[in-house]
Amino acid sequence: MAWYDRNKRDLPWRNTTDPYAILVSEVMLQQTQVERVVPRYLAWLERWPTVRALASASGGDVIREWQGLGYNRRALSLQRAAAVVAADGWPEDLRSLPGVGPYTAAAVASFAWDRQEAAIDTNVRRVLERREGRFTPGRVVAALVAGEPVPDVNERILAGLERDGLIVRADGHVRLP
């Protein structure tokens, strides 16, 4: 926290508790550099300052305003989420909104409503997995490629790898397809 206090950047979404503004920032920041997001975020909120305003916008306008941020489906998901909130209010579980996953839901809940929810991103997850010595799906596949035995791995990870066609399980063994 001391490092953050000395090094934090003054970013517009850090100066609000408006869940809509925070949701916009979190969606825009997905795989997009902060420097590219700041001016687009400000323009977006000037054009559509509320969920109702965004919900009533045309899909074409939303996509045009999103250009340059990549992954246009994020813009349309954000608009669909705004439509849900405009119609029904903010849901208790934000993951029920279109395009909102665990990280975004936790970030919005934490920053907007001061809920004690940890927003675990890829970098945090990687550090935790190293600390705990846990195996990720990528490490499991890497072990198989190297011809090493697969360590004791969480069933959820194995099921996901099998579903994605990256492994085959038979007779208690795991192998590449």
Banded pLDDT at 92 (limits 50, 70, 90): very high
- The answer on 91 and 12 residing in a single domain is yes
Catalytic residues, by residue number, are: 26
Residues 31-59: tens digit of each pLDDT: 899 999 999 999 999 999 999 999 999 99
Which segment of 83-92, 135-144, 161-170 scores lowest on mean pLDDT?
135-144
Burial class (CB in 10 A: 0-12, 13-18, 19+), 97: buried
- Report if residue 123 sits inside a domain: no
More confident residue, 162 or 85: 85
Residue 143, domain extent: 134-175
Same domain, 90 and 158: no
Q: Specify the pTM.
A: 0.72
The CATH number of residue 17's host domain is 1.10.340.30
